[in-house]
């Protein structure tokens, strides 16, 4: 079966999507990371849909890019992601998001969070391929034909038995693109990512697939493409560990130096500190260090200096000493 990527005009040309990461990859992070290297698409943090249609201000808070043509300042499209179990409510919110300028809709069938799954959202729905079909088909019918409807899923909930059935249901529902995180919900984020199982699914569907999971380096990206059979990749945690990972993968750029990474942390603080949510900045910066420690030994040392500090200015002063 053919699997030509909708992200690229030419089969075999790698394209990279910046993954949605709840509470981590926010608007400011998308702006900074897409300015550093080549991305072809960003997905927002999920909009949790239960039994209401959100007003425009809520969507603008999740995706301020809607006010600037649905792209980051670097020109990378930012697609609103929805998470929920009710097809009609999902579809109605999809209409609002696209009317506001979202360049398509992404659907989350991959979130492993216990609170989300307990309320029948995210990866728990991978036990119900028919529900996936209803949600995708309803959204596809509701939004304009020219706008893509993409989906992200895992290989399953407790096991991978329904992985192909889920992919087929998503394809039959009319999705334009499917990203597969190569783990089950039970796997969480524990290595390894099972890229070879994406290739097995790829043999059964013609829907374009994007591989995701454990892509930390250019070598990982090359291996993932070979093993999964996918041209295109989604990166998330890897981009937080190495902020210019997309350029390292696409352009064989040198990994960003530690001093420049510290400058990026300061840029992030400047970007966010005037926002209404600036109160989360100290914890968000500390959280970022948890990822940076994988790539930079210096991050472990610096984190020890700031981990007990509560005031933003104190934290920034310590980081500035690294420049």
Kindly list the catalytic residues. 111
What own/partner pairs with CB < 8 Å and gap ≥ 24 does 165-170 have?
165/129, 166/109, 166/126, 166/129, 166/132, 167/201, 167/204, 167/205, 167/207, 167/209, 168/129, 168/204, 168/205, 169/129, 169/130, 169/132, 169/133, 169/136, 170/109, 170/132, 170/133, 170/136, 170/207
- Helix, strand, or coil here: 83? strand
Cα 220 to Cα 36: distance, rounded to the nearest angstrom? 20
- Tokens linked to 208: 């374009």
Single out the residue of 156, 264, 236 nearest to residue 201, CA to CA.
156
Beta strands in 60-100 (DSSP E): 78-83
Q: What is the DSSP letter of 188?
A: T
Cα 196 to Cα 252: distance, rounded to the nearest angstrom? 25
Cβ atoms 153, 167 nearer than 8 A = yes
Residue with tokens 């697939």: 209
Task: Identify whether 131 is preceded by a cis peptide bond (ω within 30 of 0).
Answer: no
């Amino acid at each position: 079966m053919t699997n030509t990527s909708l992200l690229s005009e030419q089969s075999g040309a790698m394209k990279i999507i910046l993954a949605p990461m709840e509470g981590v990859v926010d608007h400011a992070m998308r702006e900074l990371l897409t300015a550093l290297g080549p991305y072809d698409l960003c997905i927002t943090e999920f909009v949790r849909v239960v039994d209401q249609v959100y007003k425009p201000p809520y969507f603008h808070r999740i995706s301020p890019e809607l006010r600037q043509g649905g792209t980051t300042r670097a020109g990378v499209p930012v697609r609103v992601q929805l998470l929920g179990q009710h097809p009609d409510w999902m579809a109605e919110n999809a209409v609002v998001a696209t009317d506001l300028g979202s360049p398509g809709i992404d659907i989350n069938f991959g979130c492993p969070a216990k609170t989300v799954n307990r309320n029948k959202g995210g990866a728990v729905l991978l036990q119900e391929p028919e529900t996936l079909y209803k949600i995708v088909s309803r959204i596809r019918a509701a939004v304009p034909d020219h706008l893509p409807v993409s989906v992200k899923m895992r290989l399953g909930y407790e096991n991978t038995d329904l992985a192909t059935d889920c992919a087929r249901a998503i394809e039959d529902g009319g999705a334009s693109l499917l990203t597969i995180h190569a783990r089950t919900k039970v796997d969480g984020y524990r290595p390894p990512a099972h890229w070879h199982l994406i290739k097995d699914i790829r043999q059964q569907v013609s829907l374009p697939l994007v591989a995701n999971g454990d892509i930390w380096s250019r070598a990982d990206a090359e291996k993932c493409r070979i093993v999964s059979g996918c041209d295109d990749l989604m990166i998330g945690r890897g981009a937080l560990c190495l902020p210019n990972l997309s350029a390292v993968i696409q352009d064989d750029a040198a990994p960003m130096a530690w001093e420049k990474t510290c400058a990026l942390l300061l840029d992030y603080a400047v970007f966010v500190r005037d926002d209404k949510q600036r109160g989360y900045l100290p914890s968000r910066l500390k959280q970022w260090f948890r990822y940076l420690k994988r790539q930079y030994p210096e991050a472990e040392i610096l984190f020890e200096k700031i981990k007990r500090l509560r005031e933003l200015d104190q934290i920034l002063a310590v980081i500035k000493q690294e420049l």
